[in-house]
Structure 1
Amino acid sequence: MRFFKGELFSGPGGMSMGAKEASVTHPKTGEVFFIEHRWSKDFDSDTCKTFGKNICGDEEDPSVHLGPVEKLPIGNRDLLPDIDCLTFGFPCNDYSQVGKRHGLEGEYGPLYSYGVKAIKEYQPKFFVAENVGGLQSANEGKAFIQILSEMEECGYNLTPHLYKFEEYGIPQARHRIIIVGIRQDLYESGVHYKVPAPTTPHNYRTSLDAIINPPISDSALNHEFPRHSQKVKDMLSYIPAGANAWHPGIPKELQLKVKGVRISSIYKRLDPERPAYTVTGSGGGGTHMYHWNENRALTNRERARLQTFDDGFEFIGSKVSVRKQIGMAVPVKGAKVIFEAILKTFAGIEYNYVDPEPKVQLGNLVNKKSKNEIAKELTALV
């Protein structure tokens, strides 16, 4: 069974590559369940070229639409044909713990509504929506409830869950809210999605293992080494693995002169015995992630390894652009786990699962309680 996929806010293709790699064969009938790209959209030119090259085989593939989501002709079947599934990682800027957290009132906060619009228009069999863990508490929890309510009102049974990707073999502590929606008629016929159980709950893959096994070729794509001033290299030489720029062993003359909040990720080295901290795509000096031993920041290919992109996945653009693309992506192998669980659900194949978190009953709950009451319940779980 083939599921045609549309995608909004596609990024460079982490979600789509995970979907592309996911495939399930029914053990009795031999039927193969898989997902195939049909169309996508992103607002960044380099990102669209990266997506086109790696997902479609052509940087200029016409199914990859460039531009603001507000101008995307949702519902125009000539440009955006019917789909069986929709994915959208709506922008997280206004929900992130490290941002100003404007939530629904921010510039990016309301953009989820275009995903809702596409769900209403195409009525896909299922959808997958992704955002940062901070979505749960934005606007005192009200943003999360409003988003869930609008998705549910489209006629879908929802399973929101805070996935901790390091528990699924991803060499990075990346925590994301992912909402899987199954169309109500299919849910009532027995298609019940369950959160796949963690595959490595107590045996995390380390950042060292991800970066050196196998070794990255000197000629690998997007593997240009960064340049640093001598002062930065000298400072790094005093920072042990897992520590940052505020390590007390740094000589006074090399210490950063920063007043106020001291962000923990500044010049922070990886701990080779643990998964990496979260890969990000923006930020100035000191935010580029740093090698546990060598006195330098990671290369973009090393960052891509932490996001579980294969070395053959080529990012298009400048080093700054590529860094941004890698940081905004969904880890490929994490997305694959979720899509495989969805395909098993449609195939009627059992798999190990866990209860979703936060534990808030959906369904008719929105009609039984006020949104403020539900928001308080959600906020208490954050």
Structure 2
Amino acid sequence: MPNIILDVEIKLEAGYNIMKNTPVIFSFFSGAGFLDLGFEAAGYDVAFVNEYHRPFLDAYKHSRKVMGMPAPKYGYHLGDISEFENPDESQKILNLVSMVKSDNKLVGFIGGPPCPDFSIGGKNRGHEGENGKLSATYIELICKQRPDFFLFENVKGLWRTKKHREFYETMKEKLHCNDYVTTERLINSIEYGAPQQRERIILIGFQKSILHGLGIEATHSLKEIFPWEKYITHCIQDIIAMPWPGMEPFEEDGNRNKPNGIEEKLTVEYWFKKNDVLNHPNAHQYFTPRAGLAKFQVIPEGDDSKKSYKRLHRWRPSPTVAYGNNEVHLHPYKARRLSVAEALSLQSLPKEFELPPNITLSDAFKTIGNGVPYEASKGIAKTILDFLKVNNDE
């Protein structure tokens, strides 16, 4: 089956010479593969995938199968990233990295370690928590395996909260001591065209030898020269200034015209229609209260002020797509919670992307909420390629 979606994006939109210059990606904490999919659409080759939770890895495999995409060259690894601290497992990864480099390909590690321990709304245990420790493990893996570049993604609490920022800076210092030069940005996924307000810290690093080959002499930071804003499609100040509608009475299956002056492509309704969510394979997968819930019919459209039972507005972006800690998001004009198909659309995924029909609702919404929005992933991936000058002029 031809890979229509990614072929078009790689050849026409990104314009990269994928035969000669494709960087090879090793993906960790892969979930259902949203981050990886964005990198592939931008022109990378995801060759190794690691995920700890089997249902997420099964979802990753399922989505690739239905989209006509091949399995990663070096396969899937089901297991905790800590296993790579074992000398034998570490050597296996090192051999693969060396093999890729010997073929004159760039190697990149990408991953977003589990973030509840750094989230204000989560466990907030920091680097002492079981999930928090995995961030340090990932950084240690990068320093030992020495990919040409890496991406680290996490919640803004790791970067903004004083008690966690010290740990974050310690990880950066370790990277600097191992010949990486870094750059970071607190991104908002809506800047890249995803229909949700979702802030995340993105840390990217390159080996000094790679920078030297690009004619760049830097010691610790690329702050002034990394083109963070080049592939941003919407200025956050302009988005904030738009006349977004406020709360309005809930009317089941009611109609509301799009207000003037807003960006339609950033709205819930635009993505629901774009992905044809009512006819999507995951359309009928959503949580249903055992005896019904009267409040589903009284919460106004656009009332997302509370931690739980947020009702989205059809003509606004969604709040952060996160469904843990009892964060219930309601459909704008139906008396129910969001479906899996609708949640996938708010992560800006192609409509052909689907989760397996036998995945539990808990696992489905968890892997959706954990994922990096596809449009943001693609934009960041293009930014790295642009910086590395990986294109047809090479």
Calculate the TM-score normalised by the size of structure 2. 0.74
**Contact preservation (8 Å) 1:9, 1:42:** yes
**Offset of residue 289 of structure 1:** 1.1
Aligned counterparts of 1:60 and 1:39: Cα–Cα separation in 2 = 6
**Contact preservation (8 Å) 2:94, 2:145:** no
Q: Kindly provide the amino acid, as one letter, of the partner of residue 290 in structure 1.
A: L
**Contact preservation (8 Å) 2:51, 2:80:** yes
What is the root-mean-square deviation in Å for CA atoms of aligned residues?
2.5
**What SS class does the counterpart of residue 185 from structure 2 fall into?**
strand
The aligned runs of 1:70-149 (5 Å cut-off) are 70-72=82-84, 73-77=89-93, 80-82=96-98, 84-136=107-159, 137=161, 139=163, 141-149=165-173
**What SS class does the counterpart of residue 301 from structure 1 fall into?**
helix
Higher fraction of helix: 2
Aligned counterparts of 1:167 and 1:292: Cα–Cα separation in 2 = 23
Aligned counterparts of 2:372 and 2:25: Cα–Cα separation in 1 = 16
Q: Kindly provide the amino acid, as one letter, of the partner of residue 33 in structure 2.
A: G
**Matching residue within 205, 211, 233 for 1:199:** 233
Q: Kindly provide the amino acid, as one letter, of the partner of residue 310 in structure 1.
A: P
Q: Kindly provide the amino acid, as one letter, of the partner of residue 165 in structure 1.
A: S
**Offset of residue 9 of structure 1:** 0.9
Give 1:313's aligned residue: 353
**Offset of residue 215 of structure 1:** 2.9
Give 2:50's aligned residue: 41
Aligned counterparts of 1:10 and 1:129: Cα–Cα separation in 2 = 12
2:58 matched to 1:52?
Answer: no
Give 1:155's aligned residue: 179
The aligned runs of 1:22-37 (5 Å cut-off) are 22=42, 34-37=43-46
**Range that drifts further, 194-203 or 86-95:** 194-203
Q: 1:48 to 1:85 in 2, by over 3 A?
A: same
Q: 1:338 to 1:157 in 2, by over 3 A?
A: same
**Matching residue within 32, 35, 41 for 1:21:** 41
Give 2:273's aligned residue: 212
2:202 matched to 1:190?
Answer: no
Deviations 1:58-117 (A, max 9, x none): 789971111111123233148854451000101101101202311112221121222223
Aligned counterparts of 2:390 and 2:286: Cα–Cα separation in 1 = 47
Give 2:372's aligned residue: 330
**What SS class does the counterpart of residue 212 from structure 1 fall into?**
helix
**What SS class does the counterpart of residue 90 from structure 1 fall into?**
coil
Aligned counterparts of 2:270 and 2:315: Cα–Cα separation in 1 = 9
**Offset of residue 224 of structure 1:** 2.3
The aligned runs of 1:165-176 (5 Å cut-off) are 165-176=189-200
Give 1:9's aligned residue: 29
Deviations 1:227-271 (A, max 9, x none): 235551x21222111215x8xxxxxxxxxxxxxxxxx23111012
**What SS class does the counterpart of residue 76 from structure 1 fall into?**
helix
**What SS class does the counterpart of residue 345 from structure 2 fall into?**
helix
**What SS class does the counterpart of residue 280 from structure 1 fall into?**
coil
**Offset of residue 276 of structure 1:** 0.3
**Contact preservation (8 Å) 2:275, 2:350:** no
Aligned counterparts of 1:300 and 1:310: Cα–Cα separation in 2 = 14
Runs of 4+ in 1 over 6 A off after TM superposition: 58-62
Aligned counterparts of 1:267 and 1:325: Cα–Cα separation in 2 = 20
**Range that drifts further, 331-340 or 310-319:** 310-319
Aligned counterparts of 1:177 and 1:50: Cα–Cα separation in 2 = 25
Q: Kindly provide the amino acid, as one letter, of the partner of residue 233 in structure 2.
A: T
Aligned counterparts of 1:199 and 1:59: Cα–Cα separation in 2 = 31
Give 1:180's aligned residue: 204
Unaligned runs of 5+ in 2: 1-20, 101-106, 217-224, 240-262
2:37 matched to 1:64?
Answer: no
Report % sequence identity: 24
Q: Kindly provide the amino acid, as one letter, of the partner of residue 63 in structure 2.
A: N
Give 2:340's aligned residue: 300
Deviations 1:8-66 (A, max 9, x none): 111110110000100xxxxxxxxxxx310111211100111222333474789971111
Q: 1:79 to 1:226 in 2, by over 3 A?
A: farther
Aligned counterparts of 1:348 and 1:77: Cα–Cα separation in 2 = 24
Residue correspondences, number: 317
